[in-house]
Amino acid sequence: MRLLNLFKIATKAIILNKTRTLLTMLGIIIGVASVIAMLAIGEGSKESIRTTISAMGSNMITIKAGADTRGGVRQEASVMESLTLSDYEAIKAQSTLLSYSSPVVEGRGQVINGSSNWPSSIYGVNPEYLSIKVVDLQNGSMFTDAEVQTASKVAVIGQTVVDNVFPDGQNPVGQMIRFNNIPFKVIGVLEEKGENTFGQDQDDVVIAPYTTVQKRILAIDHLNQIMASAISEEEAPNAVLEVSNILREQHKLTESDADDFTVRSMEELISTFSSTSEMLTILLVAVASISLLIGGIGIMNIMYVSVKERTKEIGLRMAVGAKGADILMQFLIEAILISITGGVLGVLLGLGATVFIEKFLNWPTSVALYSIIISFAVCAVTGIFFGWYPARKASALDPITALRYE
């Protein structure tokens, strides 16, 4: 009953001073709302990154030539020719943790159809490439292994290429295009994927048999990279290790030799982007938390003023039998109520802010339950921590001195 009475007294004191109470809560409201909104933006960006990269093929593994020293000169990875078709064949034959794999050679050039032309990239691959990249065809078909073996001049093109070299809206399947003056028959159109995480247009592409691109476009016999897909996302790290061991043996590298290739999985990319996003989120939350600190100081100051204003009331209560612990509890409950009420309003404002950010600013957001729980916990701690000193001051007053206070 004593606690219930103290709760009623604290509630009445808050209601009688609505404006002061609201101003006291303001710092807490803004702080909690900021923390929830910032955490929602951080979580949303991490989920967006994972979803976008997973759409590119979450199990995807990329093998590229690594930097090496030739004749005492350190060479860039981009000019190395250490990946060959025999490397791909060894990986294909020996790996047990890969579901798909494809050689990749790539170049840039002009796609021409009649009077229309467009600068684009050409990728020489095999039929498994679409499964690795998790891409379907919206029209036509993919070239076959037989067409790869015969270096057929056939191609599958992205929607951006279609829009720019077939501006009249005609069906490109079955039509002839030229890439750097080499004629290709269009046999398929890729489904639209839009821009990736790096802002690169995934539809601005021409895909052809790697043998054709090697011989007719680039005039090379090495590979730019090898792309593969692990049997599962969980097995991707083991697949990276397995591929590395196969290539080290293939390249006859000793234990003391450094790799002349690099093997990367999408999981590493996801982890890198997520950690960057997490650091930014921590920074934003740290800035937002300053509002909570300011709000807590505001509670302490207002409660201290309240103690001064109600000194006679405190003296009267103590004169009729109230103990110091009762006075301490009364003001502490009042501080906690202000803090938690501000927390509730802050949560509602924070949730409203995340909806506004996602709907009108088109930023991905994701409200995590833990952010709300943490906000409430911080509010309770703030009320106790910053309310204790004024409450302790009130409970230590001498009843006679308090009654004579003017």
Tell me how many degrees the CA angle 125-128-133 measures, rounded to the nearest 5. 85
Averaged over successive runs of 10 residues, the pLDDT of the chain (406 residues) comes to 70 78 81 84 77 69 73 46 90 94 95 93 95 90 96 96 90 94 95 74 93 94 93 88 94 87 79 68 71 74 73 74 77 82 88 90 83 78 76 72 58
Unique residue bearing structure tokens 């009843």:
399
Residues 6 or more apart whose CB falls under 8 angstroms from that of 38 comprise 281, 284, 285, 287, 288
Q: What is the pTM of this model?
A: 0.63
SS3 61: strand
Q: How far apart are CA 384 and CA 355, in angstroms?
A: 31
Cβ proximity of 166 and 116 under 8 Å: yes
Q: Which two tokens stand for residue 15?
A: 């209601």
Q: How far is CA 33 from CA 29, 37, 38, 39, 347, in A?
A: 6, 6, 8, 10, 6
Instruction: For 315-356, give the DSSP string.
Output: HHHHHTT--HHHHHHHHHHHHHHHHHHHHHHHHHHHHHHHHH
Q: How far apart are CA 54 and CA 56, in angstroms?
A: 5
Q: Which two tokens stand for residue 135?
A: 């891409």
Q: How far apart are CA 25 and CA 337, in angstroms?
A: 10
Q: How far apart are CA 403 and CA 92, in angstroms?
A: 92
Give the distance, in angstroms, between the CA of residue 291 and the centroid of all CA atoms in the same chain.
25
Q: Which two tokens stand for residue 218?
A: 């680039």
Cβ proximity of 342 and 32 under 8 Å: yes
Q: Which two tokens stand for residue 69?
A: 């020293």
Q: How far apart are CA 367 and CA 40, in angstroms?
A: 5
SS3 224: coil
Element (H, E) at 252: none
**Pick from 50, 72, 86: nearest CA to 278:** 50
Q: Is 194 left (phi over 0), alpha (psi -120 to 50) or beta?
A: left
At 77 the pLDDT is: 45
Q: How far apart are CA 280 and CA 291, in angstroms?
A: 18
Cβ proximity of 122 and 109 under 8 Å: yes
The distance between the two most distant Cα atoms of the chain, rounded to a whole number of Å, is 106
Cα dihedral 8/12/14/15 (nearest 10)? 130
At 32 the pLDDT is: 84
SS3 379: helix
Q: How far apart are CA 227 and CA 64, in angstroms?
A: 9
Q: How far apart are CA 27 and CA 31, in angstroms?
A: 6
At 25 the pLDDT is: 81
At 107 the pLDDT is: 94
